[in-house]
Amino acid sequence: MGVSFDRLLNIIYEVRLFVVLPLYLIWLALAVYLLARKNKMFFVCLVAFPLVIFSIDITSTFSGWLYRMELRKIYATAPDHSIDIGRMPPNIRAEYAKHDYHPRLRDIKAKLLGATVLFPIIIVIGSAIWVVVSKHCPIAHSRGTADG
């Protein structure tokens, strides 16, 4: 028995926190590690990880929204093409109402706006921290000198 496309969209939305939250923690740990070692890969970490994490979060929220819209289209559309949520069977309506009727389209817009606003802020703050750490903190690990 296979999983339908609609159900797959719901599964993607349901597991998003179990994917996104560990990625945020990995990103934070990696950034702190690279900053402590004064490794220039810090800037790659600063830019690449948020792009990936924001993309996964927004895409998974969009898939949850698509799932809700499919339920609405299949079960709540009247013959005159109007939408009436009361027409849904009780088990489908419970599925539709899960998570307090979220995700909504405004949730996706808010995440897009948040990512658009947060990304430059992350870059500026991360660069400022890099400057402070590189000027005022001793080198985290010593490298061999030419003197031996």
Check whether 23 has a pLDDT greater than 90.
Answer: yes
Beta bridge partners of 77: 83
Q: For residue range 112-135, what is the model confidence (pLDDT) as tens digits? A: 999 999 999 999 998 898 888 888
User: Does pLDDT of 25 surpass 90?
Assistant: yes
Express each pLDDT in 38-87 by its tens digit. Answer: 888 888 888 899 999 999 999 999 998 998 888 888 888 888 888 888 88
Mean pLDDT, all residues of the chain: 85
Distance CA 126, CA 118 (A): 12
Provide Rg for the chain, Cα atoms: 23
- Is the dihedral angle over the CA atoms 57, 63, 69, 71 positive or is it negative? negative
The rounded distance, in Å, linking the Cα atoms of 35 and 43 is 9
Q: Given the structure tokens 């179990």, which residue do they identify?
A: 18
Other beta carbons less than 10 A from residue 68's beta carbon: 23
The backbone torsions φ and ψ at residue 77, rounded to the nearest 5 degrees and listed phi first, read -85, 125
